């Protein structure tokens, strides 16, 4: 009889501990956060918090009309408005098919970071655009002997699944220089 009570008692104690641990978990933050990565358009701060009350994806945001989304925010949401305006500038520069590939890649990285602040709704479109420009950007970085930019571009290419001749040539250049 005692053998039956010990496992039941230990399960009850373990259940009570788990229940207590779940009950005392901290409440989720009321801010969306951007991790400190890369540089942002117009020298935006690297640590950004947008109050959740200042953001809900609008039709304008979903349609890539970031300026309109910024104008639709209340005046107390000036930080979110500023970020949306920066996202608009980065998006336009990054999606400009006639632009310099290296400039486009830098702008797309910025757009990706800023989009993540607002939930990452456009991450797939930005990643697709980066896939289309990354090979040419790596070649430009190598031609300019910009090792840091080339390393970042090659790493980004790997993350995006781009493994073409330009990326391999850039890897070879980085390994030998």
Nearest to 149 by CA among 161, 140, 158: 140
Question: Model's pTM, two decimal places?
Answer: 0.70
Cβ atoms within 10 Å, residue 90: 26
Delimit the domains of the chain by residue range.
29-176
Per-residue pLDDT of the chain in tens (177 residues, 90 and over written 9): 445 455 544 444 544 444 444 344 443 333 333 333 333 334 444 455 566 667 766 788 889 999 999 998 888 888 889 999 999 999 999 999 999 999 999 999 999 999 998 889 999 999 999 999 999 999 999 999 999 999 999 999 999 999 999 999 999 999 998
For the stretch 119-155, what's the b/e string if a residue is b when 16 or more beta carbons lie within 10 angstroms of its beta carbon? Answer: eeebeebbbebbeebbbbbbbbbbeeeeeebbebbbe
Nearest to 60 by CA among 83, 42, 79, 84: 84
Using a 10 angstrom Cβ sphere, with 0-12 exposed, 13-18 middle and 19 or more buried, the burial of residue 115 is: buried
């Amino acid at each position: 009889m005692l053998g039956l009570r010990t496992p039941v008692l230990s399960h009850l104690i373990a259940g009570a501990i788990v229940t207590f641990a779940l009950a005392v978990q901290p409440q989720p933050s009321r801010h969306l956060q951007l991790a400190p990565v890369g540089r942002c358009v117009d020298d935006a701060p690297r640590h950004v918090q947008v109050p959740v009350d200042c953001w809900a994806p609008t039709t304008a945001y979903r349609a890539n009309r970031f300026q309109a989304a910024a104008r639709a925010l209340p005046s107390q949401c000036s930080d979110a408005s500023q970020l949306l305006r920066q996202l608009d500038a980065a998006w336009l520069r990054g999606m400009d098919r006639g632009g310099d590939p290296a400039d486009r890649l830098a702008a797309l990285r910025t757009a990706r970071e800023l989009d993540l602040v607002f939930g990452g709704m456009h991450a797939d479109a930005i990643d697709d655009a980066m896939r289309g420009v990354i090979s040419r950007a790596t070649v430009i970085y190598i031609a300019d002997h910009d090792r840091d930019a080339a390393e970042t571009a090659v790493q980004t290419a790997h993350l995006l699944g781009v493994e073409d001749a330009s990326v391999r040539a850039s890897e070879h250049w980085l390994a030998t220089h």
